[in-house]
């Protein structure tokens, strides 16, 4: 199927990683408000070792999503994450221009 780095679609990367026996989480932008770097439907896939492919935002938001993914993979419990201007960490996570995003994070596969 080719190397993940050569692919454009994070969902195909997830299929490849699952076929390789990796534990995988899928992050999906489910809502945006105001200024948001990525549109609704954007995906980021993360494996249990912290490898990732795709994008749900940029900057520190993705770092936070990747950190949460390890717990979602371990527990199997999905999470709805929200980042935005109402959060005192908005500047730190890269949403300093105003806006909010919600990201659904869930383990996929078995």
Query: Using CA atoms, how far apart are residues 77 and 86, in angstroms rounded to an integer?
Result: 25
Contact 16, 1 (CB under 8 A): yes
Q: Each residue's pLDDT tens digit in the chain (110 positions)?
A: 455 555 689 999 999 999 999 999 999 999 998 778 889 999 999 999 999 999 998 777 889 999 999 999 999 999 999 987 655 555 555 555 667 899 999 999 87
Q: How far apart are CA 49 and CA 87, in angstroms?
A: 28
Its pTM stands at: 0.83
DSSP string computed for 58-89: -HHHHHHHHHHHHHHHHH---EEEEEETTSTT
pLDDT for 27: 98
d(CA 66, CA 62): 6
């Amino acid at each position: 199927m080719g190397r993940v780095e050569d692919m454009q679609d994070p969902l195909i990367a997830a299929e490849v990683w699952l076929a390789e026996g990796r534990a995988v989480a899928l992050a999906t932008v489910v809502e945006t408000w105001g200024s948001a770097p990525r549109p609704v439907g954007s995906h980021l896939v993360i494996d249990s070792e912290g490898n990732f492919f795709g994008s749900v935002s940029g900057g520190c938001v993705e770092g936070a999503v990747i950190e949460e993914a390890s717990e979602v993979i371990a527990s199997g419990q999905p999470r709805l994450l929200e980042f935005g201007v109402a959060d005192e960490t908005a500047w730190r996570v890269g949403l300093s221009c105003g806006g909010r995003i919600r990201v659904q994070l869930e383990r996929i596969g078995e």
